[in-house]
Amino acid sequence: MTTTITLTGAGGQIGYALLFRIAAGDLLGPEERVRLRLLEIPQGLGAAEGAALELQDGAFGLLEHVEVTDDPAVGFDGADLALLVGARPRGPGMERGDLLTANAGIFGPQGAAIAAHASPDVRVTVVGNPANTNALIAAASADGVPAERFTALTRLDENRARAQLAQTLAAPVDTVRRVPIWGNHSATQFPDVSHATVGGAPVADALEAIVGDVPAWLDETFIPRVAKRGAEIIQVRGSSSVASAANATIEHVRDWVRGTDDWTSAGVVSHGEYGVPEGLISSFPVRSIDGEWQIVEGLEVSDWARARIDASVAELVEEREAVRALGML
């Protein structure tokens, strides 16, 4: 079988970190051949063409064809998977929401081009920031494509949360499970340890033995560390995360296509679950079953958690109002 994958921003940093992993089979496994469509703006075409030359020199057995274009009609033609990475990154001192004016205009036309040219069962993953609201814009512009086909990446936040817990607990990271992200991929996000386990036992018990006052540690150390990790990376390395973002993108899409055996996190359209207003693209605890993300329902949400979810969702509502005011919704 062959899957057609469209990558926007293919000449950028994350694009470069993604392409070779996709060609090597990390996304869809060693049996699935891939056809790559690299969509860029004219200024980015040279870098994307250079990456295409290197893909050729990689002699990847799974890679059937690479097309580089700045025409969305060509870029999204027959796309089974669309990775919308192409957008400006933030710099030091900025919040991701500050990118709304610069980036939101990209996603309406791309949503429309997806509706017109992609495969009928296309799956779209928005990485470009502010990812949730960009996904909302793309979905709203894609007439005839169900909103469930549009997602925003919050897997990087979940990976950061699990890694911070693993470090604190001196436990292997793959033994830390069920740490969903709620809300927006922004500083208001809520990484939730209420249901988390380490080696199958509740994380809260293990944390108490190490940090003492767990609620204070969550409020003062853990949540801000995870929620501001993107800014920390920008401060330390001088530009925003690349390889970890590409890795999270691979994991998000792989799990969407191939399924999960436990919960993870993704920005998906709300149907009113957990009181999140219908239509917003919000991060939830999710499972992937038969190629569809399903929100994990029925979880107990404490008042403390509720307040944090509500704050992040309120920011999503504000972003939706802002793009409405810009005439993009």
Q: Residue 244 CB, nearest distance to ligand LMR (Å)?
A: 7
By CB under 6 A, residue 283 contacts ligand LMR: no
Q: What are residue 301's phi and psi, to 5 degrees?
A: -120, 115
Q: Residue 56 CB, nearest distance to ligand LMR (Å)?
A: 30
The mark string for 145-184 relative to ligand NAD (x by CB under 6 A, - otherwise) is: --------x--x----------------------------
Task: Let me know if 185 is a catalytic residue.
Answer: yes
CA atoms within 13 A on the CB side of 91: 1
By CB under 6 A, residue 156 contacts ligand LMR: yes
Beta carbon nearer to ligand LMR, 37 or 96: 96
Euclidean distance between CA atoms 263 and 53, whole angstroms? 38
Q: Which residue of 43, 93, 144, 209 would you call a contact of ligand NAD, by CB under 6 A?
A: 43
Euclidean distance between CA atoms 222 and 210, whole angstroms? 13
Q: Which of 117, 185, 252, 271 is catalytic?
A: 185
Q: Which residue of 6, 69, 129, 186 would you call a contact of ligand NAD, by CB under 6 A?
A: 129
CA distances for 240 relative to 9, 96, 129, angstroms: 15, 11, 11
DSSP string, 111-157: HHHHHHHS-TT-EEEE-SSSHHHHHHHHHHHSTTS-GGGEEE--HHH
Give the interface segment with ligand NAD, choosing from 86-94, 189-197, 209-217, 253-261 (CB under 6 A): 86-94
The mark string for 184-223 relative to ligand LMR (x by CB under 6 A, - otherwise) is: ----------------------------------------
CA atoms within 13 A on the CB side of 42: 0
Task: Give residue 301's Cα distance to chain centre.
Answer: 24
Q: Which residue of 37, 90, 178, 320 would you call a contact of ligand LMR, by CB under 6 A?
A: 90
Omega cis (within 30) before 130:
yes
C-alpha angle 51-56-57 in degrees, rounded to nearest 5: 95
Could you tell me which residues come within 8 angstroms of residue 159 by beta carbon, excluding any fewer than 6 positions away?
244, 247, 248, 251
Binding residues vs ligand NAD (CB under 6 A): 8-9, 11-15, 39-41, 43-44, 85-90, 106, 127-129, 131, 153, 156, 185, 240-242, 245
Catalytic residues: 185
Binding residues vs ligand LMR (CB under 6 A): 89-90, 96, 129, 156, 230, 233, 240-241, 245
